[in-house]
Structure 1
Amino acid sequence: MGEKRGNVWIAAAGLVINEADEWLVVKKKYGGLKGKWSLPAGFVKQGEMLDEAAMREIKEETGIDTEVIGFLGMRTGVIRDEVSDNMAIFLLRPHSHTISVQTDELFAAAFLSKQKLREDPHTSGLLRYLLELEPFSYFPPHDGLNPGEPFGYTKYRLYFKNS
Protein backbone atom coordinates (compact mmCIF):
# COMPACT_ATOMS: atom_id res chain seq x y z
CA MET A 1 0.00 0.00 0.00
CA GLY A 2 2.72 2.49 0.93
CA GLU A 3 5.14 1.61 -1.89
CA LYS A 4 5.50 5.18 -3.23
CA ARG A 5 5.99 6.86 0.16
CA GLY A 6 7.08 4.01 2.38
CA ASN A 7 5.02 3.01 5.38
CA VAL A 8 5.24 6.29 7.29
CA TRP A 9 3.25 9.13 5.75
CA ILE A 10 3.65 12.75 6.89
CA ALA A 11 1.18 15.30 5.54
CA ALA A 12 0.07 18.84 6.32
CA ALA A 13 -3.29 20.58 5.97
CA GLY A 14 -4.49 24.12 6.40
CA LEU A 15 -7.68 25.68 7.69
CA VAL A 16 -7.77 29.08 5.98
CA ILE A 17 -10.38 31.51 7.32
CA ASN A 18 -11.04 34.76 5.45
CA GLU A 19 -12.32 38.14 6.73
CA ALA A 20 -15.93 37.04 6.13
CA ASP A 21 -15.33 34.06 8.48
CA GLU A 22 -15.58 31.64 5.52
CA TRP A 23 -13.42 28.51 5.29
CA LEU A 24 -11.31 27.60 2.26
CA VAL A 25 -12.29 24.05 1.30
CA VAL A 26 -11.63 21.72 -1.62
CA LYS A 27 -13.31 18.71 -3.25
CA LYS A 28 -10.74 16.11 -4.26
CA LYS A 29 -11.06 13.88 -7.33
CA TYR A 30 -9.47 10.83 -5.68
CA GLY A 31 -9.07 8.84 -2.48
CA GLY A 32 -11.27 8.52 0.56
CA LEU A 33 -12.34 12.17 0.36
CA LYS A 34 -13.37 12.04 -3.29
CA GLY A 35 -16.30 14.43 -3.81
CA LYS A 36 -16.28 15.68 -0.21
CA TRP A 37 -15.44 19.15 1.07
CA SER A 38 -12.15 18.88 2.96
CA LEU A 39 -9.09 20.92 3.88
CA PRO A 40 -6.38 21.59 1.30
CA ALA A 41 -3.67 19.08 2.21
CA GLY A 42 -0.81 17.01 0.93
CA PHE A 43 2.40 15.22 1.70
CA VAL A 44 5.48 16.96 3.08
CA LYS A 45 8.41 17.10 0.66
CA GLN A 46 12.06 16.48 1.50
CA GLY A 47 13.67 19.59 3.03
CA GLU A 48 10.28 21.11 3.93
CA MET A 49 8.84 21.91 7.34
CA LEU A 50 5.24 20.94 8.14
CA ASP A 51 3.93 24.52 8.12
CA GLU A 52 5.69 25.21 4.80
CA ALA A 53 4.02 22.12 3.32
CA ALA A 54 0.59 23.36 4.42
CA MET A 55 1.15 26.77 2.77
CA ARG A 56 2.53 25.16 -0.40
CA GLU A 57 -0.37 22.72 -0.71
CA ILE A 58 -2.92 25.52 -0.25
CA LYS A 59 -1.17 27.58 -2.93
CA GLU A 60 -0.88 24.63 -5.34
CA GLU A 61 -4.48 23.46 -4.90
CA THR A 62 -6.27 26.83 -4.70
CA GLY A 63 -3.87 29.61 -5.75
CA ILE A 64 -4.33 31.30 -2.36
CA ASP A 65 -1.28 32.78 -0.61
CA THR A 66 -1.39 32.33 3.17
CA GLU A 67 0.32 33.02 6.46
CA VAL A 68 0.39 30.55 9.37
CA ILE A 69 -1.33 31.78 12.52
CA GLY A 70 -0.79 28.62 14.51
CA PHE A 71 -0.85 24.86 14.87
CA LEU A 72 -4.34 23.43 15.50
CA GLY A 73 -3.63 19.76 15.99
CA MET A 74 -2.66 16.41 14.56
CA ARG A 75 -4.56 13.63 12.84
CA THR A 76 -2.84 10.27 13.13
CA GLY A 77 -3.86 6.75 12.26
CA VAL A 78 -2.76 3.38 10.93
CA ILE A 79 -4.14 2.07 7.63
CA ARG A 80 -4.68 -1.71 7.36
CA ASP A 81 -2.19 -2.34 10.18
CA GLU A 82 0.72 -1.31 7.95
CA VAL A 83 0.84 2.41 7.08
CA SER A 84 1.33 5.12 9.71
CA ASP A 85 -0.70 8.06 8.33
CA ASN A 86 -0.04 11.40 10.05
CA MET A 87 -1.24 14.93 9.23
CA ALA A 88 -0.49 18.21 10.99
CA ILE A 89 -3.29 20.78 10.76
CA PHE A 90 -2.52 24.50 10.76
CA LEU A 91 -4.68 27.63 11.08
CA LEU A 92 -3.89 30.23 8.39
CA ARG A 93 -5.02 33.61 7.13
CA PRO A 94 -5.25 34.36 3.41
CA HIS A 95 -3.15 37.05 1.73
CA SER A 96 -4.99 36.65 -1.57
CA HIS A 97 -8.62 35.88 -2.35
CA THR A 98 -8.92 34.79 -5.98
CA ILE A 99 -9.21 31.02 -6.18
CA SER A 100 -7.55 29.11 -8.99
CA VAL A 101 -8.57 25.44 -8.83
CA GLN A 102 -5.93 22.80 -9.54
CA THR A 103 -8.11 20.72 -11.86
CA ASP A 104 -5.74 17.71 -11.93
CA GLU A 105 -6.59 16.91 -8.30
CA LEU A 106 -9.75 18.88 -7.50
CA PHE A 107 -13.35 19.13 -8.62
CA ALA A 108 -13.74 22.47 -6.81
CA ALA A 109 -12.32 24.92 -4.28
CA ALA A 110 -14.26 27.67 -2.52
CA PHE A 111 -14.56 29.89 0.52
CA LEU A 112 -17.76 28.61 2.17
CA SER A 113 -19.67 29.75 5.23
CA LYS A 114 -19.72 27.50 8.27
CA GLN A 115 -23.50 27.23 7.90
CA LYS A 116 -23.21 25.97 4.32
CA LEU A 117 -20.59 23.42 5.41
CA ARG A 118 -22.84 22.22 8.25
CA GLU A 119 -25.78 21.78 5.85
CA ASP A 120 -23.88 20.15 2.97
CA PRO A 121 -24.00 16.33 3.08
CA HIS A 122 -20.64 16.29 1.25
CA THR A 123 -18.73 17.91 4.14
CA SER A 124 -16.00 15.59 5.46
CA GLY A 125 -16.01 14.22 8.99
CA LEU A 126 -12.87 16.17 9.94
CA LEU A 127 -14.45 19.46 8.82
CA ARG A 128 -17.60 18.64 10.79
CA TYR A 129 -15.45 18.03 13.87
CA LEU A 130 -13.56 21.32 13.38
CA LEU A 131 -16.87 23.18 13.06
CA GLU A 132 -17.75 22.00 16.58
CA LEU A 133 -14.43 23.13 18.07
CA GLU A 134 -14.79 26.89 17.49
CA PRO A 135 -13.50 29.11 18.92
CA PHE A 136 -10.15 27.53 18.19
CA SER A 137 -7.32 27.13 20.62
CA TYR A 138 -4.00 26.96 18.78
CA PHE A 139 -0.26 27.00 19.29
CA PRO A 140 1.37 30.11 17.76
CA PRO A 141 4.71 29.83 15.93
CA HIS A 142 7.91 30.86 17.72
CA ASP A 143 10.94 31.68 15.61
CA GLY A 144 14.46 32.55 16.67
CA LEU A 145 15.28 29.51 18.79
CA ASN A 146 17.72 26.98 17.38
CA PRO A 147 19.06 24.08 19.45
CA GLY A 148 22.58 24.70 18.19
CA GLU A 149 25.23 23.69 15.73
CA PRO A 150 25.57 20.02 16.72
CA PHE A 151 22.16 19.28 15.16
CA GLY A 152 22.75 21.10 11.86
CA TYR A 153 19.27 22.62 11.45
CA THR A 154 18.91 24.96 8.47
CA LYS A 155 15.32 25.82 9.51
CA TYR A 156 13.69 25.56 12.92
CA ARG A 157 10.36 26.68 14.41
CA LEU A 158 8.50 25.79 17.59
CA TYR A 159 4.75 25.70 18.20
CA PHE A 160 3.99 26.03 21.92
CA LYS A 161 1.16 27.62 23.82
CA ASN A 162 2.36 30.18 26.37
CA SER A 163 -0.43 29.68 28.88
Structure 2
Amino acid sequence: MKNERGKVWLGAGAVVVNSDGKWLVVKKKYSGLKGVWSIPAGFVQYGETADEAALREVREETGIHCIVTGMVGFRTGVIRGEVSDNMAIFACRPINENQPIRIQEKELYDAKWLSVNELLTCGEASVMLQEMASDSLIRHQLSKNDGINPGDWFQYTSYRVFFNK
Protein backbone atom coordinates (compact mmCIF):
# COMPACT_ATOMS: atom_id res chain seq x y z
CA MET A 1 0.00 0.00 0.00
CA LYS A 2 2.85 2.44 0.74
CA ASN A 3 4.11 2.08 -2.84
CA GLU A 4 0.70 3.23 -4.14
CA ARG A 5 1.01 6.45 -2.13
CA GLY A 6 4.24 7.50 -3.74
CA LYS A 7 6.33 10.09 -1.95
CA VAL A 8 3.56 12.52 -1.00
CA TRP A 9 1.23 11.22 1.70
CA LEU A 10 -2.02 12.79 2.88
CA GLY A 11 -3.58 11.56 6.07
CA ALA A 12 -6.59 12.68 8.04
CA GLY A 13 -7.24 12.51 11.75
CA ALA A 14 -9.96 13.52 14.16
CA VAL A 15 -10.03 15.07 17.60
CA VAL A 16 -13.42 13.75 18.71
CA VAL A 17 -14.70 15.48 21.84
CA ASN A 18 -17.87 14.46 23.69
CA SER A 19 -20.17 16.68 25.77
CA ASP A 20 -18.11 15.88 28.90
CA GLY A 21 -15.01 17.32 27.19
CA LYS A 22 -13.37 13.90 26.89
CA TRP A 23 -11.35 13.03 23.79
CA LEU A 24 -11.67 9.76 21.88
CA VAL A 25 -8.17 8.28 21.69
CA VAL A 26 -6.70 5.05 20.36
CA LYS A 27 -3.61 2.90 20.98
CA LYS A 28 -2.26 1.53 17.71
CA LYS A 29 -0.48 -1.82 17.32
CA TYR A 30 2.05 -0.52 14.75
CA SER A 31 4.36 2.32 13.70
CA GLY A 32 5.86 5.01 15.87
CA LEU A 33 2.50 5.34 17.64
CA LYS A 34 2.53 1.73 18.83
CA GLY A 35 1.25 1.55 22.40
CA VAL A 36 0.68 5.27 22.94
CA TRP A 37 -2.55 7.24 22.91
CA SER A 38 -3.17 9.09 19.64
CA ILE A 39 -6.10 10.33 17.60
CA PRO A 40 -7.96 8.07 15.17
CA ALA A 41 -6.28 8.68 11.81
CA GLY A 42 -5.28 7.17 8.50
CA PHE A 43 -4.68 7.88 4.84
CA VAL A 44 -7.09 9.67 2.53
CA GLN A 45 -8.38 7.28 -0.14
CA TYR A 46 -9.15 7.97 -3.78
CA GLY A 47 -12.46 9.75 -4.26
CA GLU A 48 -12.85 11.14 -0.74
CA THR A 49 -12.09 14.48 0.87
CA ALA A 50 -9.79 14.73 3.87
CA ASP A 51 -12.71 15.40 6.26
CA GLU A 52 -14.58 12.36 4.89
CA ALA A 53 -11.44 10.28 5.47
CA ALA A 54 -11.24 11.48 9.09
CA LEU A 55 -14.85 10.40 9.72
CA ARG A 56 -14.23 7.04 8.03
CA GLU A 57 -11.12 6.40 10.11
CA VAL A 58 -12.94 7.17 13.37
CA ARG A 59 -15.78 4.84 12.35
CA GLU A 60 -13.43 2.05 11.21
CA GLU A 61 -11.14 2.22 14.25
CA THR A 62 -13.71 2.80 17.00
CA GLY A 63 -17.21 2.25 15.59
CA ILE A 64 -18.13 5.80 16.62
CA HIS A 65 -20.11 7.88 14.09
CA CYS A 66 -19.23 11.59 14.12
CA ILE A 67 -19.74 14.88 12.40
CA VAL A 68 -17.00 17.36 11.54
CA THR A 69 -17.38 20.70 13.33
CA GLY A 70 -14.17 22.34 12.12
CA MET A 71 -10.49 21.91 11.52
CA VAL A 72 -7.93 21.85 14.31
CA GLY A 73 -4.78 22.03 12.24
CA PHE A 74 -2.45 20.56 9.67
CA ARG A 75 0.64 18.49 10.49
CA THR A 76 3.37 18.26 7.88
CA GLY A 77 6.86 16.77 7.78
CA VAL A 78 9.42 15.02 5.61
CA ILE A 79 10.51 11.47 6.43
CA ARG A 80 14.17 10.59 5.78
CA GLY A 81 14.48 13.59 3.47
CA GLU A 82 12.26 11.99 0.83
CA VAL A 83 8.62 11.38 1.82
CA SER A 84 6.28 14.34 2.36
CA ASP A 85 4.00 13.21 5.22
CA ASN A 86 0.95 15.43 5.77
CA MET A 87 -2.16 15.17 7.95
CA ALA A 88 -5.28 17.31 8.13
CA ILE A 89 -6.68 17.23 11.68
CA PHE A 90 -10.41 17.84 12.14
CA ALA A 91 -12.54 18.66 15.17
CA CYS A 92 -15.46 16.26 15.50
CA ARG A 93 -18.26 15.38 17.85
CA PRO A 94 -20.02 12.04 18.21
CA ILE A 95 -23.53 11.75 16.80
CA ASN A 96 -24.67 9.39 19.56
CA GLU A 97 -22.71 9.68 22.81
CA ASN A 98 -24.20 6.44 24.14
CA GLN A 99 -22.75 4.44 21.26
CA PRO A 100 -20.24 1.90 22.62
CA ILE A 101 -16.67 1.87 21.37
CA ARG A 102 -15.86 -1.12 19.15
CA ILE A 103 -12.13 -1.27 18.50
CA GLN A 104 -10.66 -2.48 15.24
CA GLU A 105 -8.68 -5.32 16.82
CA LYS A 106 -6.39 -5.80 13.81
CA GLU A 107 -4.96 -2.26 14.22
CA LEU A 108 -5.67 -1.23 17.82
CA TYR A 109 -4.87 -2.35 21.35
CA ASP A 110 -7.48 -0.05 22.87
CA ALA A 111 -9.71 2.99 22.42
CA LYS A 112 -11.37 5.09 25.11
CA TRP A 113 -12.59 8.52 26.16
CA LEU A 114 -10.01 10.45 28.23
CA SER A 115 -10.08 13.93 29.74
CA VAL A 116 -7.47 16.49 28.73
CA ASN A 117 -5.95 16.17 32.21
CA GLU A 118 -5.72 12.38 31.85
CA LEU A 119 -4.01 12.82 28.46
CA LEU A 120 -1.50 15.26 29.90
CA THR A 121 -0.65 13.19 32.99
CA CYS A 122 -0.88 9.57 31.80
CA GLY A 123 2.62 9.51 30.30
CA GLU A 124 1.30 7.48 27.35
CA ALA A 125 0.09 10.20 24.93
CA SER A 126 1.77 10.85 21.59
CA VAL A 127 3.77 14.07 21.26
CA MET A 128 1.19 15.56 18.87
CA LEU A 129 -1.69 14.64 21.20
CA GLN A 130 0.12 16.21 24.17
CA GLU A 131 0.68 19.41 22.17
CA MET A 132 -2.97 19.62 21.12
CA ALA A 133 -4.26 18.90 24.63
CA SER A 134 -1.88 21.30 26.38
CA ASP A 135 -2.90 24.24 24.21
CA SER A 136 -6.61 23.34 23.99
CA LEU A 137 -6.35 23.78 20.23
CA ILE A 138 -9.88 22.52 19.87
CA ARG A 139 -11.05 26.03 20.91
CA HIS A 140 -9.07 27.64 18.09
CA GLN A 141 -10.48 25.51 15.30
CA LEU A 142 -11.19 26.67 11.78
CA SER A 143 -14.86 26.64 10.78
CA LYS A 144 -16.31 24.37 8.10
CA ASN A 145 -18.10 26.03 5.19
CA ASP A 146 -20.26 23.85 2.92
CA GLY A 147 -22.22 24.85 -0.13
CA ILE A 148 -19.43 26.78 -1.84
CA ASN A 149 -19.04 26.22 -5.58
CA PRO A 150 -15.71 27.46 -7.01
CA GLY A 151 -17.14 27.11 -10.52
CA ASP A 152 -18.53 24.34 -12.68
CA TRP A 153 -15.36 24.31 -14.78
CA PHE A 154 -13.48 22.52 -11.95
CA GLN A 155 -16.07 19.70 -11.83
CA TYR A 156 -15.68 19.10 -8.08
CA THR A 157 -17.94 16.33 -6.79
CA SER A 158 -17.19 17.37 -3.20
CA TYR A 159 -15.81 20.71 -2.02
CA ARG A 160 -15.38 22.28 1.43
CA VAL A 161 -13.38 25.18 2.80
CA PHE A 162 -12.10 25.53 6.37
CA PHE A 163 -11.05 28.99 7.50
CA ASN A 164 -10.94 31.22 10.56
CA LYS A 165 -14.02 33.41 10.86
Q: Could you tell me the TM-score, scaled by structure 2's length?
A: 0.94
| Aligned residue in 1 for 2:156 | 153
Shift of 1:4: 3.8
Q: 2: distance between equivalents of 1:20 and 1:149?
A: 42
Q: 2:107 aligns with which of 99, 105, 108?
A: 105
RMSD: 1.3
Q: Secondary structure at the match of 1:52?
A: helix
Which residue of structure 2 aligns with residue 43 of structure 1?
Answer: 43
Runs of 5+ in structure 2 lacking a partner?
Answer: none
Counterpart contact for 2:144–2:160, Cα < 8 Å: yes
- Partner amino acid, structure 1, of 2:71: F
Matched, 1:119 2:121: yes
Cross-structure match for 2:147? 144
Q: Which residue of 2 aligns with 1:90?
A: 90
Q: Given that residues 145 and 162 in structure 2 are in contact (C-alpha distance below 8 angstroms), is that contact kept between their aligned partners in structure 1? A: yes
How many correspondences in the alignment?
162
- SS, match of residue 31 in structure 1: coil
CA deviation profile, 1:22-54 (whole Å, cap 9, x unmatched): 100000000000000000000000010010000
Identify the range of structure 1 (4-13 vs 126-135) with the bigger mean alpha-carbon deviation. Answer: 126-135
**Is 1:28 aligned with 2:28?**
yes
Which stretches in structure 1 are left out of the alignment for 5+ residues? Answer: none
Partner Cα separation in structure 2 for residue 79 and residue 89 of structure 1: 19
- Cα offset for 1:9? 0.4
What is the one-letter code of the residue matched to 1:114?
A: V
TM-score by length of 1: 0.95
1:52 and 2:55 equivalent? no
Distance in structure 2 (CA, Å) of the matches to 1:31 and 1:105? 10
Percent pairwise identity: 50
Structure ranking higher in helix proportion: 2
Q: Report the residue type matching 2:101 in the other structure.
A: I
Runs (4 or more) in structure 1 with deviation over 4 Å come to: none
2 CA distance for matches of 1:4 and 1:157? 26
Residue 149 of structure 1 and its aligned partner are, at CA, apart by 1.4
For 1:107 and 1:150, the matched residues in 2 are separated by 46
- Please say if residues 65 and 94 of structure 2, whose CA atoms lie closer than 8 Å, have aligned partners that are also in contact: yes
Measure how far apart 1:63 and its partner are: 0.3
Shift of residue 157 of structure 1? Answer: 0.8
Distance 1:134 1:122 in 2: 18
Distance in 2 separating the partners of 1:125 and 1:38: 9
Alpha-carbon offset, residue 95 of structure 1: 1.1
